């Protein structure tokens, strides 16, 4: 463990720790709330900053990342900030080229086609050299937040990153990546292990830089069935939690709460609840009561309003939030959407969502 794990001291004192308390299972006066993709294109000020800028150039500018992370907090009383970045910076750190193609999304110029292509990847990644710009963005943002709310760091999980690296971009079936799991199980594990190691160092580096919580995005869990998830996703999700915690201890860094968000993985909720994360994030396709029943009492749940509910009139958003809070209960719970905000959403409706969570949870806690 090299010098990059010595964290810059002198961060401002945290004024609102509701999100962290809920993540650790402590009592809160109101239910904390944040939104996936809260720094995003639904905000005109975001589009203005990003205009004419290459997406990954923006990711590599600590100053711009900091500005974009802070924008939603200037508008809404959110209980957490999440650093503006992208999960595909990890494949870039492994030496792959990814470009953002307008109208198409992230595209790999040379995806992995054959098992031999694994040899082109960097086998030893110095995360500070390759991803130091993310660490700088986190440190700068942590200072700029002035203790208003905690800052969340994140990474994509190994299977999700592997699927992008083989598909070369988004896909509705993930057939190329899944075919590797069936045709080349050994090579698949080799790639997943390599990714897990880099992700672990990357997450530890984020905490050293000032991240106060971490979220692992297994966004493509829904493309796997229970068996493949058990073989190719869950072991690495578990390994990352364990390795991050032991490296944080070793480096005398804070043991920050960790969140696992495996989209569409209801079939694995019980296992995810016991995979070493303090918080299990949920998409919108499961009933709160059912998620509670499956995950037990020892983890905090996060989620899971259908993002499209934000297209509803504001009063309706309030009703849906109230119902969601009644389903989950207001404690050991972090309100969020079941996926990210969409670019055409009305910021006022995002504000209505945040305020409804605070108002209804306070009301329920009082009575």
266 DSSP 8-state letter:
G
Q: Token match 């389903």: residue?
A: 327
**Tokens, residue 141:** 């943002």
Residue 295 sits at φ, ψ, to 5 deg, of -95, -15
Angle at 339 between CA 325 and CA 229, to 5 degrees: 105
Q: Token match 């995360």: residue?
A: 127
Per-state percent for the chain, helix, strand, coil, to nearest 5: 50, 10, 35
Choosing from 24, 75, 86, 193, the catalytic residue is: 86
What residue ranges in the chain does DSSP mark as E strands? 81-82, 98-101, 105-108, 151-156, 213-218, 258-262, 279-281, 300-305, 333-337
CA-CA distances (angstroms) from residue 199 to 88, 202, 214, 223, 364?
A: 11, 5, 11, 21, 39
- The length of the chain, given as a count of residues: 367
Residue 73 sits at φ, ψ, to 5 deg, of -75, -20
Q: How far apart are CA 14 and CA 33, in angstroms?
A: 17
Question: Does residue 50 carry a catalytic annotation?
Answer: yes
Choosing from 17, 21, 37, 332, the catalytic residue is: 37
Choosing from 17, 21, 24, 41, the catalytic residue is: 41
Sheet with 213-218: strands ordered across: 81-82, 151-156, 213-218, 258-262, 279-281, 300-305, 333-337
Question: Does residue 86 carry a catalytic annotation?
Answer: yes
DSSP code per residue over 49-63: HHTT--HHHHHT-HH
Choosing from 50, 75, 193, 292, the catalytic residue is: 50
Q: Do 2 and 248 contact (CB within 8 A), yes or no?
A: no
Radius of gyration of the chain (CA): 19
Question: Does residue 264 carry a catalytic annotation?
Answer: no
CA-CA distances (angstroms) from residue 233 to 166, 227, 320?
A: 16, 10, 32
Q: Around 333, how many Cα atoms within 13 Å sit in the side-chain half-sphere?
A: 26
Q: Token match 């990711």: residue?
A: 59
Choosing from 60, 142, 164, 277, the catalytic residue is: 164
Catalytic residues: 37, 41, 50, 86, 164
């Amino acid at each position: 463990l090299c010098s990059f794990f010595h964290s810059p001291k002198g961060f401002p004192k945290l004024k609102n720790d509701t999100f962290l308390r809920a993540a650790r299972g402590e009592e809160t006066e109101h239910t904390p709330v944040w939104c996936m993709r809260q720094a995003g294109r639904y905000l005109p000020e975001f589009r203005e900053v990003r205009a004419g800028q290459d997406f990954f150039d923006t990711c590599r500018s600590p100053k711009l990342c900091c500005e974009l992370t802070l924008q939603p907090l200037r508008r809404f009383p959110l209980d957490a900030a999440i650093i503006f970045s992208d999960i595909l910076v990890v494949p870039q750190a492994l030496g792959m080229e990814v470009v953002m193609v307008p109208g198409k999304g992230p595209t790999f110029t040379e995806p992995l086609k054959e098992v031999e292509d694994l040899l082109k990847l960097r086998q030893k990644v110095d995360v500070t050299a390759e991803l130091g710009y993310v660490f700088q963005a986190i440190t700068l943002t942590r200072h700029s937040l002035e203790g208003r709310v905690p800052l969340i760091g994140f990474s994509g999980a190994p299977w999700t990153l592997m699927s992008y690296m083989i598909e070369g971009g988004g896909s509705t079936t993930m057939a190329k990546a899944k075919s590797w799991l069936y045709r080349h199980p050994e090579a698949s594990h080799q790639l997943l292990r390599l990714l897990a190691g880099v992700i672990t160092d990357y997450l530890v580096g984020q905490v050293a830089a000032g991240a106060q919580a971490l979220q692992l995005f297994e966004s493509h869990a829904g493309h796997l069935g229970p068996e493949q998830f058990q073989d190719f996703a869950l072991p690495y999700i578990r390994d990352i939690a364990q390795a991050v915690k032991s490296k944080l201890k070793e480096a005398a860094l804070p043991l920050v709460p960790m969140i696992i968000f495996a989209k569409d993985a209801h079939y694995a909720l019980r296992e995810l609840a016991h995979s070493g994360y303090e918080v299990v994030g949920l998409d919108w396709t499961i009933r709160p009561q059912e998620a509670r029943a499956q995950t037990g009492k020892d983890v905090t749940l996060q989620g899971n309003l259908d993002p499209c509910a934000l297209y509803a009139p504001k009063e309706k958003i309030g009703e849906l939030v109230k119902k969601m809070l009644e389903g989950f209960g207001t404690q050991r719970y972090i309100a969020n959407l079941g996926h990210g905000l969409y670019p055409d959403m009305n910021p006022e409706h995002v504000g209505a969502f945040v305020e409804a969570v605070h108002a209804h949870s306070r009301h329920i806690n009082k009575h």
